[in-house]
Amino acid sequence: MIARRVRELGTFCEILPYETRWDSLSQQPSAVILTGGPESVTVPGSPDVDPAVLQSGVPILGICYGMQLLAREFGGELVKLDRPEYGPAMLTVTESRSPFFASVPERSRVWMSHGDSVVRLPPGFAALASTERCKVAAMGDAQRRIYGVQFHPEVAHTEYGRAMLENFLRRIAALPPDWGMESFVETAIEDIRERVGGRRAICALSGGVDSAVAATLVAKAVGEQLTCVFVNHGLLRKNEVEEVVGAFHDVLHLDVRVVDARERFLHALAGAEDPERKRVIIGHEFIRVFEEAAADVPGVELLVQGTLYPDVIESKTPQSKAGHKIKSHHNVGGLPEEMRLELLEPLRSLFKDEVRRVGRVLGLPESIVGRQPFPGPGLAVRIIGEVTPERLRVVREADAIVRHEIDAAPLDPHPWQYFAVLTPVRSVGVMGDGRTYANLVAVRAITSEDGMTADWARLPADLLERISARIVNEVPGVNRVAYDITSKPPATVEWE
């Protein structure tokens, strides 16, 4: 979230684990942000930072845990709160002349999430802001250009968080807004050409935005050295094979080969109910299918994937023993340890909204760039429990109704993502004056900017009514529909 906000402001940044040694960096950063985390700085063995980072002389911003770490390392005092503070709070800026709070009103809403609090400032630091329960909600040492905030400026709930981050980047760190997707495309094409050389590559097309942009970017770089393979694993949405293959052939003009692997994937998934196991099975099977397809293309040594930064972050925080894994993405945690093909992931450093901007820079039509995200494991992660042909039929038909009704509705904002989920719940119903015992389908629709956080979409009641009525009447085996009104966090976008 923090990295994404910084990039939105036109400054490139990357995430490194806290154990990173300052002298191991190939290029010295112009500024450092120490992030939040669930640990407590008052507990022995909690995540620390190389002292050279703090003595580097570059501007530093500590957020939540990062601020507490700064306070401890520079000689302040912290206490553990009797009651942790989570949620909204009113911030009062007590030092309006601070460059960190330039153009920020005296009072505004911020988002708190902490169990420790600074009670004595380190030497050289001044208190800049407070809340009702947090006396030192922001602190700063203007001379050393080191600042800390107890709240989270990166989340939308903090009203002026973007302005605060921009103040740190521009007024404190003096960084120009000189990074964008145009420069990324130019650099990426050069890097791909150098990496590929005279070799051939094969691209794993899924039909989603990520693989389409990755394929187009690589095709721009190496042209006919790229062959695309679209695998019909039987886990796709209704009519998706025809729509996707047509788009790649007719719109993107890519060399696409279709592999029918429906029976193979269903056989591999038989009996698998655990979501992590399903993702790993699908990831392994994908690689094997592509390796077999690559054998028919002479000279192929590289596999192109549309892996994104959130995939990497959610699967495992990069190289950090303190990383908190959320789930294995099929193209990260689901990959086999030994592969015959070398991975080429040109979008690995980008967030979803950045990928869409890259697609527009490359000239892709909005029908492709604006498609709602669809998980690589497909409908397998929208079936809770075992994947069978019958359960696939149910979720596929229900999903088609959800998408058709929402696509046709005049909604503002339009949901970021919307789909049906087949739950393992069966319930009693009455249909045609007779008793039924059938499936519960859940409908999920969210609003989001990048999928890293999301809120449930406030769909009109009459739209939900139409969706429910159509699913129950048109999809045999379903007698009940529920609407998911959970945000991310605490939930994820997908149910599995």
pLDDT digits 0-9 by tens, 268-303: 999 999 999 999 999 899 888 878 888 888 888 998
Asked whether residue 274 falls in the same domain as residue 224, the answer is: yes
Whether 203 and 214 have beta carbons less than 8 Å apart is answered as yes
Tokens 């490194």 appear where? 16
Residue with token string 């592969």: 339
Q: Which residue has the higher pLDDT, 208 or 408?
A: 408
Q: Which of 110-119, 195-204, 322-331, 426-435 has the lowest mean pLDDT?
A: 322-331
Whole-angstrom distance, CA of residue 435 vs CA of residue 118: 62
Residue pointed to by tokens 């669930």: 38
Q: What is the pLDDT at residue 278?
A: 93
Nearest to 376 by CA among 313, 259, 286: 286
Our answer to whether residue 64 is catalytic in this structure is: yes
Query: In the predicted model, what is the mean pLDDT of residues 138-166?
Result: 95
CATH code, domain with 432: 3.30.300.10
Are the CB atoms for 49 and 69 separated by under 8 Å? yes
Answer whether residue 492 is part of any domain: no
Q: Is the pLDDT of residue 320 over 70?
A: no
Distances (CA, A) of 40 to 47, 65, 138: 9, 7, 18
Give a yes or no: residue 488 inside a domain.
no
Q: Could you give the CA distance from residue 157 to residue 153 in angstroms, rounded to a whole number?
A: 8
pLDDT band with cut points at 50, 70 and 90 for residue 353: confident
Residue 382 forms part of a structural domain? no
Residues 13, 154, 285, 345: which is the catalytic one? 154
Across 392-405, average pLDDT: 97
- Strand 455-456, strand 434-447: pairing: antiparallel
CATH code, 348: 3.40.50.620
pLDDT score of 323 more than 50:
no
Residue 44 belongs to some domain of the structure: yes
Tell me the mean pLDDT in the region 19-39. Answer: 92
Kindly tell me if the per-residue pLDDT of 324 is higher than 50: no
Q: Rounded CA gap, 66 and 149, in Å?
A: 8
* Least confident segment among 23-37, 320-334, 439-453: 320-334
CB 222 within 8 A of CB 196: yes
Annotate 327-346 with DSSP letters as a single string: ---TTTTTS-S--SSEEE-T
What percentage of the chain carries pLDDT values higher than 90?
A: 64
- For residues 218 and 300, what is the distance between their CA atoms, to the nearest angstrom? 14
CA–CA dist 181, 152 (Å, integer): 26
Express as a percent the part of the chain with pLDDT over 70.
94
Contact yes or no for 230/207 (Cβ under 8 A):
yes
Contacts 24+ apart (CB under 8 A), 166-170: 166/9, 167/99, 167/100, 167/101, 167/102, 167/103, 167/104, 168/31, 168/59, 168/61, 168/100, 169/6, 169/9, 169/11, 169/31
Residue 493 CA to residue 382 CA, distance in Å, equals 11
Torsion on CA atoms 357, 359, 360, 361, rounded to nearest 10? 90
**Torsion over CA of 214, 217, 218 and 219, rounded to 10 degrees?**
120
- Of these residues, 13, 64, 134, 203, which one is catalytic? 64
**Residue 483: closest CA among 443, 446, 445:** 443
With bands split at pLDDT 50, 70 and 90, how would you rate the model's confidence at 314? low
Look at residue 377 and tell me if it is in a domain.
Answer: no
For residues 389 and 266, the answer to whether their CB atoms sit within 8 Å is yes
What range does the domain containing 326 cover? 181-369
Could you tell me the pLDDT band of residue 317, with boundaries at 50, 70 and 90?
very low
How confident is the model over 124-135, as a mean pLDDT?
93
One domain for residues 208 and 122? no
Confidence band for 349, pLDDT divided at 50, 70 and 90: confident
The CATH number for 33's domain is 3.40.50.880
- In the predicted model, what is the mean pLDDT of the chain? 89
Task: Decide if 437 contacts 472 (C-beta within 8 A).
Answer: no
Mean pLDDT score, 148-170: 95
Residue 62 sits in the same domain as residue 211: no
pLDDT at residue 332 greater than cutoff 50: no
- Asked whether residue 140 falls in the same domain as residue 285, the answer is no
Confidence (pLDDT) at 326:
38
178-231 pLDDT per residue, tens: 888 998 999 999 999 999 999 999 998 877 889 899 999 999 999 999 999 888
Count the domains in the chain: 3
- Predicted local confidence at residue 338, as pLDDT: 57
User: Is residue 116 over pLDDT 90?
Assistant: no
How many Cα atoms within 13 Å fall on the side-chain side of residue 236?
Answer: 20
Residue 373's CB is within 10 A of a number of other CB atoms, namely 17
Residues 217 and 315 in one domain: yes
Same domain, 136 and 13: yes
pLDDT higher than 50, residue 331:
no
pTM (2 d.p.) = 0.69
Of the residues 114, 134, 152, 345, only one is catalytic, namely 152
Residue 152 among the catalytic residues: yes
**Is residue 376 included in any domain, yes or no?**
no
Letter for the amino acid at 132?
A: E
Q: What is the largest CA-CA distance in the chain?
A: 78
What's the pLDDT band for 87 if we cut at 50, 70, 90? confident
- Lowest mean pLDDT of 11-15, 37-41, 262-266, 313-317, name the range: 313-317
Does 15 share its domain with 148?
A: yes
The residues near 427 (Cβ < 8 Å, ≥ 6 apart) are 437, 438, 440, 479, 480
- Tell whether 17 and 141 lie within a shared domain: yes
